[in-house]
Amino acid sequence: MNTKSHIKRRGVWYLILLVLASVILPCARASGQPIAVQLLNGKTRKPLKGYRVYILLGDPRAQNRLDLKTDHEGKVHFEASSENTFQVRPVGTVACTKPTAASEDINFNVAEVIAHGVVTPNECGSFDPEPMRGQVTFLTRSASGMDLFRN
Protein backbone atom coordinates (compact mmCIF):
# COMPACT_ATOMS: atom_id res chain seq x y z
CA MET A 1 0.00 0.00 0.00
CA ASN A 2 2.86 2.32 0.80
CA THR A 3 4.50 1.80 -2.62
CA LYS A 4 1.23 2.52 -4.48
CA SER A 5 0.76 5.87 -2.72
CA HIS A 6 4.42 6.69 -3.35
CA ILE A 7 3.96 5.95 -7.07
CA LYS A 8 0.79 8.09 -7.16
CA ARG A 9 2.59 11.00 -5.47
CA ARG A 10 5.48 10.70 -7.89
CA GLY A 11 3.05 10.67 -10.83
CA VAL A 12 1.31 13.77 -9.50
CA TRP A 13 4.66 15.58 -9.18
CA TYR A 14 5.64 14.63 -12.73
CA LEU A 15 2.28 15.90 -13.97
CA ILE A 16 2.74 19.21 -12.12
CA LEU A 17 6.27 19.55 -13.47
CA LEU A 18 5.07 18.83 -17.01
CA VAL A 19 2.31 21.45 -16.77
CA LEU A 20 4.70 24.08 -15.39
CA ALA A 21 7.28 23.35 -18.08
CA SER A 22 4.68 23.60 -20.84
CA VAL A 23 3.59 27.02 -19.53
CA ILE A 24 6.98 28.55 -18.64
CA LEU A 25 9.14 27.43 -21.59
CA PRO A 26 7.02 28.97 -24.39
CA CYS A 27 6.83 32.24 -22.45
CA ALA A 28 10.61 32.35 -22.08
CA ARG A 29 11.10 31.73 -25.79
CA ALA A 30 8.48 34.28 -26.86
CA SER A 31 9.98 37.15 -24.93
CA GLY A 32 12.48 39.08 -27.01
CA GLN A 33 14.70 42.05 -26.48
CA PRO A 34 12.68 45.25 -25.98
CA ILE A 35 13.65 47.95 -28.45
CA ALA A 36 12.42 51.52 -28.90
CA VAL A 37 12.63 53.61 -32.05
CA GLN A 38 12.23 57.36 -31.64
CA LEU A 39 11.46 59.57 -34.62
CA LEU A 40 12.86 63.07 -34.15
CA ASN A 41 12.86 65.98 -36.57
CA GLY A 42 16.55 66.47 -37.40
CA LYS A 43 16.17 70.24 -37.65
CA THR A 44 13.65 71.19 -34.93
CA ARG A 45 14.55 68.33 -32.52
CA LYS A 46 10.83 67.71 -31.92
CA PRO A 47 9.37 64.19 -31.71
CA LEU A 48 7.17 63.13 -34.60
CA LYS A 49 3.87 62.17 -32.94
CA GLY A 50 1.24 59.96 -34.54
CA TYR A 51 3.36 58.78 -37.48
CA ARG A 52 3.04 55.29 -38.91
CA VAL A 53 6.25 53.23 -38.76
CA TYR A 54 6.89 49.85 -40.33
CA ILE A 55 9.46 47.67 -38.55
CA LEU A 56 10.80 44.85 -40.72
CA LEU A 57 12.31 42.10 -38.57
CA GLY A 58 15.09 39.98 -40.04
CA ASP A 59 15.15 39.52 -43.80
CA PRO A 60 12.85 42.17 -45.37
CA ARG A 61 11.80 39.69 -48.07
CA ALA A 62 10.33 37.43 -45.38
CA GLN A 63 7.62 40.06 -44.76
CA ASN A 64 7.89 39.83 -40.96
CA ARG A 65 6.55 43.36 -40.56
CA LEU A 66 5.14 45.32 -37.63
CA ASP A 67 2.80 48.25 -38.30
CA LEU A 68 3.15 50.71 -35.39
CA LYS A 69 2.25 54.32 -34.59
CA THR A 70 4.47 56.76 -32.68
CA ASP A 71 3.35 57.97 -29.25
CA HIS A 72 3.58 61.51 -27.81
CA GLU A 73 7.40 61.12 -27.52
CA GLY A 74 7.71 60.00 -31.15
CA LYS A 75 8.48 56.43 -30.02
CA VAL A 76 7.40 52.97 -31.03
CA HIS A 77 8.23 49.91 -28.94
CA PHE A 78 8.61 46.30 -30.02
CA GLU A 79 10.46 43.09 -29.20
CA ALA A 80 13.04 41.74 -31.63
CA SER A 81 12.33 38.10 -30.65
CA SER A 82 14.96 35.87 -32.29
CA GLU A 83 15.90 38.23 -35.13
CA ASN A 84 19.40 39.72 -35.43
CA THR A 85 18.53 42.74 -37.58
CA PHE A 86 15.62 45.05 -38.34
CA GLN A 87 14.76 47.98 -40.59
CA VAL A 88 12.81 51.14 -39.75
CA ARG A 89 10.53 52.56 -42.43
CA PRO A 90 8.57 55.61 -41.32
CA VAL A 91 5.67 56.70 -43.53
CA GLY A 92 5.43 60.34 -44.64
CA THR A 93 8.97 61.26 -43.65
CA VAL A 94 12.41 61.34 -45.22
CA ALA A 95 15.52 60.26 -43.34
CA CYS A 96 18.08 63.01 -42.66
CA THR A 97 20.87 60.92 -44.19
CA LYS A 98 22.41 61.66 -47.58
CA PRO A 99 20.01 60.80 -50.41
CA THR A 100 20.32 57.18 -51.50
CA ALA A 101 18.17 54.73 -53.35
CA ALA A 102 15.03 53.70 -51.49
CA SER A 103 16.20 50.08 -51.56
CA GLU A 104 19.24 50.94 -49.40
CA ASP A 105 17.43 50.90 -46.07
CA ILE A 106 19.58 50.62 -42.96
CA ASN A 107 19.78 47.21 -41.31
CA PHE A 108 20.06 47.86 -37.56
CA ASN A 109 21.88 45.22 -35.54
CA VAL A 110 19.75 44.17 -32.55
CA ALA A 111 22.76 43.43 -30.30
CA GLU A 112 24.33 46.84 -31.03
CA VAL A 113 21.07 48.69 -30.39
CA ILE A 114 20.56 46.91 -27.09
CA ALA A 115 24.16 47.32 -25.92
CA HIS A 116 24.89 50.89 -27.04
CA GLY A 117 21.97 52.45 -28.92
CA VAL A 118 22.11 53.96 -32.41
CA VAL A 119 21.57 57.48 -33.76
CA THR A 120 21.14 57.90 -37.53
CA PRO A 121 23.22 60.56 -39.33
CA ASN A 122 21.74 64.07 -39.50
CA GLU A 123 22.09 66.03 -42.75
CA CYS A 124 19.04 68.16 -41.86
CA GLY A 125 20.64 70.23 -39.11
CA SER A 126 23.26 70.35 -36.37
CA PHE A 127 21.28 68.31 -33.83
CA ASP A 128 23.39 65.33 -32.68
CA PRO A 129 21.78 63.45 -29.77
CA GLU A 130 23.60 60.88 -27.67
CA PRO A 131 22.74 57.21 -28.27
CA MET A 132 20.62 55.49 -25.63
CA ARG A 133 20.81 51.77 -24.86
CA GLY A 134 17.95 49.82 -26.38
CA GLN A 135 16.91 52.67 -28.69
CA VAL A 136 17.33 53.79 -32.27
CA THR A 137 17.05 57.58 -32.59
CA PHE A 138 15.90 58.02 -36.18
CA LEU A 139 16.46 61.60 -37.38
CA THR A 140 14.06 62.58 -40.11
CA ARG A 141 11.99 65.37 -41.61
CA SER A 142 8.49 65.56 -43.03
CA ALA A 143 8.29 64.52 -46.66
CA SER A 144 7.49 67.16 -49.27
CA GLY A 145 5.27 66.44 -52.26
CA MET A 146 8.33 65.82 -54.44
CA ASP A 147 9.76 63.38 -51.89
CA LEU A 148 6.53 61.38 -51.93
CA PHE A 149 6.58 61.14 -55.75
CA ARG A 150 10.22 59.94 -55.73
CA ASN A 151 9.37 56.98 -53.53
Domain that holds residue 8: 1-31
Cβ neighbours around 12 below 10 Å, total: 10
**CATH code for the domain in which residue 106 is found:** 2.60.40.1120
Same domain for 43 and 6? no
Length of the chain as a residue count: 151
What's the total number of domains in the chain? 2
**Quick one: pLDDT band at residue 103, thresholds 50, 70, 90?**
very low
Same domain for 46 and 17? no
Assess contact for 37 and 75: CB atoms under 8 A. yes
Same domain for 47 and 8? no
23: helix, coil or strand? helix
Same domain for 18 and 49? no
pLDDT in tens, 43-99: 999 999 999 999 999 887 787 899 999 999 999 999 988 889 999 999 988 889 866
Same domain for 122 and 86? yes
What is the pTM assigned to this prediction?
0.72
pLDDT in tens, 1-59: 565 665 556 666 565 655 555 545 444 434 578 999 999 999 999 999 999 999 999 88
Please name the amino acid found at residue 13.
Answer: W
Measured distance CA(65)–CA(86) in Å, rounded = 9
109: helix, coil or strand? strand
